[in-house]
């Protein structure tokens, strides 16, 4: 992973690594600047009247009415979709090379949104302007307010075309951005009192308790979070990543690369050559499921196939950029809980 302080690294290279990587672009928010705590200032203005929302940069966006034309990073759009809020345009991984929805698109019908860019550094400013956006929404993977997948080269042009909202997914547990997305969706007219929304939140809480119990009952089971590229294997540390920080807080025993080893990855991960992929012993390996990473079934390196967890079939998917709705986060927690409950000690 990376943050704004790791500008010396190749953005494309970092994007391929474990966790949310790369350097987005800082979009200056329209509106006043407040405290850094964030919070919704209006949860009832989605249908009529003024609308305002204070984001995680401490910036408050104020509009005469709730945004009707929303453009969002694909993962954000997918989370809003789960709460009944639709967007007009998206940017970020939306469809795969064969035209199918990317994993980060969730349940959205991608044929009904304008795709402004599908890969890193792609963002069609002309199409964006044509949409006449009311607001742009993205996540942030640093503490500098850098909006994810907004290109550095065009960030200023984009900022002039409308206000933006940033939701931080940096150095906190996943429960914090889940709550922020809930508040944002509610302000935009999402039906947060629906049975579906309430059930998803309850299932997330139940899954979390299941994971807590599984970790407590199996303290010796070691979990490693990894991501694969052609040249390197990346081992993510638990600090900074919203999912791993949460799982660690629930008691999961993770492989933790030393800070010195993670220095070249901006504190997010350690890079290993495939010859050294066995540096750490693990009973379960969680692998980055994003389309930018090589998936376990496609890894051909013999050193990978010899890993005890791989030979035991104890490799599960990890959403390094979780879709921030409770519904989409439930299986992330349940899958890890089940893996720990059933894992054999192989390390």
Alpha carbon distance 196, 41 (integer Å) = 25
Q: What is the pLDDT of residues 52-62, one digit of tens each?
A: 999 999 999 99
Q: Helix or strand or coil: residue 204? A: helix
Would you say 341 and 262 are in contact if contact means Cβ atoms under 8 Å apart? no
Flag the least confident range among 42-56, 256-270, 326-340: 42-56
**DSSP state string for 12-45:** HHHHTSSSS-S--EEPPPSSEE--TT-EES-SS-
Question: Is 157 within 8 Å of 125 (Cβ atoms)?
Answer: yes
Helix residue ranges, H only, the chain: 11-15, 74-82, 125-130, 155-160, 175-187, 195-217, 242-249, 259-262, 302-305, 308-311, 326-342
Tokens of 293: 């990473």
Q: Closest by alpha carbon to 149, among 228, 38, 95, 74?
A: 74
Supply the angle between the helices 242-249 and 175-187 in degrees, to the nearest 10.
120
* Predicted pLDDT at 1: 37
Name the strand (E) or helix (H) holding 254. strand 253-254
Q: Which residues lie across from 252 on neighbouring strands?
A: none
Over residues 187-216, the mean pLDDT reads 97
**Hey, is 189 helix, strand or coil?**
coil
pLDDT of the residue at 157? 98
CB 30 within 8 A of CB 51: no
Give the model's pLDDT for residue 47.
Answer: 56
pLDDT of 299-324, one tens digit each?
999 999 999 999 999 999 999 999 99
Among 3-7, 179-183, 198-202, the range scoring the smallest mean pLDDT is 3-7
107-131: pLDDT as tens digits: 999 999 999 999 999 999 999 999 9
Confidence class of residue 6 from pLDDT cuts 50, 70 and 90? Answer: very low
Distance CA 100, CA 183 (A): 30
Question: Could you read off the pLDDT of 140-169 as tens digits, one per residue?
Answer: 999 999 999 999 999 999 999 999 999 999
Element (H, E) at 234: strand 232-236
Distance CA 266, CA 9 (A): 9
What is the C-alpha separation between 70 and 52, in angstroms, rounded? 14
Asked if 289 and 317 count as a contact pair (C-beta separation under 8 A), the reply is: yes
Under 8 Å CB-to-CB from 289, ≥6 apart: which residues? 103, 295, 317, 318, 319, 320
Report the distance separating Cα 276 and Cα 254, nearest Å.
Answer: 19
Provide the CA 243 distance to its chain's centre, in angstroms: 9
Residue 46: the pLDDT is 52
Give mean pLDDT, residues 20-36: 33
152 touches 7 (CB < 8 A): no
The rounded distance, in Å, linking the Cα atoms of 93 and 226 is 20
52 touches 61 (CB < 8 A):
yes
- Model pLDDT, residue 27: 29
Going by DSSP bridges, is the β-strand pair 222-228/253-254 parallel, antiparallel, or unpaired? Answer: parallel
**Residue-level pLDDT at 226:** 98
DSSP string, 96-144: -TTSPBPGGGTT--GGGSEEEESSTT---HHHHHHT--SEEEEEESSSS
Where on the phi/psi map is residue 251: left (φ > 0), alpha (ψ -120 to 50), or beta?
Answer: left
pLDDT in tens, 169-188: 999 999 999 999 999 999 99
Q: Give dist(CA 54, CA 69) in Å, integer.
A: 18
């Amino acid at each position: 992973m990376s943050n704004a302080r790791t500008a010396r690294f190749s953005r494309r290279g970092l994007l391929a690594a474990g966790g949310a990587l790369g350097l987005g672009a800082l979009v200056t928010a329209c509106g006043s600047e407040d405290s850094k705590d964030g919070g919704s200032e209006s949860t009832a203005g989605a249908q009529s009247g003024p609308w305002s929302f204070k984001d995680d940069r401490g910036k408050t966006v104020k509009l005469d009415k709730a945004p009707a034309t929303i453009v969002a990073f694909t993962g954000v759009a997918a989370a809003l979709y789960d709460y009944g809020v639709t967007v007009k345009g998206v940017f970020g991984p939306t469809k795969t090379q064969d035209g199918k929805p990317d994993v980060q698109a969730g349940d959205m019908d991608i044929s009904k949104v304008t795709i402004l860019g599908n890969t890193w550094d792609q963002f069609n400013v002309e199409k964006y302007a044509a949409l006449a956006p009311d607001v742009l929404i993205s996540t942030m993977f640093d503490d500098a307010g850098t909006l994810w997948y907004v290109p550095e080269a065009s960030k200023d042009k984009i900022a002039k075309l409308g206000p933006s909202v940033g939701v931080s997914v940096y150095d906190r547990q996943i429960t914090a951005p889940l709550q922020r997305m809930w508040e944002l969706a509610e302000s935009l007219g999402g039906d947060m009192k629906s049975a579906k929304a309430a059930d998803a939140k309850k299932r997330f809480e139940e899954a979390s308790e299941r994971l807590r119990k599984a970790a407590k009952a199996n303290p010796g089971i070691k979990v490693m979070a990894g991501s694969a590229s052609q040249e390197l294997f990346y081992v993510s540390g638990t600090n900074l990543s919203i999912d791993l920080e949460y799982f660690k807080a629930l008691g999961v025993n993770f492989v933790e690369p030393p800070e010195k080893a993670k220095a070249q990855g901006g504190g997010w991960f350690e890079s290993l050559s495939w010859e050294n992929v066995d540096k750490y012993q693990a009973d379960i390996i969680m692998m980055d499921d994003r389309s930018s990473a090589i998936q376990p079934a496609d890894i051909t390196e013999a050193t990978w196939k010899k890993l005890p967890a791989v030979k035991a079939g104890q490799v599960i998917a990890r959403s390094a950029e979780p879709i921030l709705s409770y519904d989409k986060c439930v299986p992330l927690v349940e899958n890890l809980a089940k893996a720990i409950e059933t894992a054999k000690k192989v390390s």
